[in-house]
Amino acid sequence: VGGIFKYFFLPSYSWGISILLFICIGIAGQVGDLFESELKRSAGIKDSGSILPGHGGILDRIDALLFAAPVAWFFKDFLF
């Protein structure tokens, strides 16, 4: 998936930089998911809302995005 994304959206970036970007975004997404899970666990709740029944709520759908999007933006605007 990262290779396809690089081909269409980041053609000017080298493969090394692109791989570093994809790894950092993946790690940030996992950290966001773990952070949100710990937040819910410390609050003693199972689901963060009832808008999406069976999915854990809206926060469970966007937890990785909340952490990964700023990392992607930082790479795009400040580093390259």
pLDDT digits (tens, 9 = 90+) for 46-63: 777 777 777 677 888 888
Residue keyed to tokens 């992607």 = 72
Q: What is the mean pLDDT of the chain?
A: 86
Please state whether 47 falls in left (phi above 0), alpha (psi between -120 and 50) or beta: beta
The pLDDT of residue 1 is 84
The pLDDT of residue 71 is 94
Rounded mean pLDDT of 17-22? 91
The pLDDT of residue 80 is 66
Q: Which domain holds residue 18?
A: 2-79
Angstrom distances, CA of residue 70 to CA of 28, 46, 54, 78: 9, 26, 28, 11
Q: Is the pTM of this model over 0.85?
A: no
The count of domains in the chain is 1
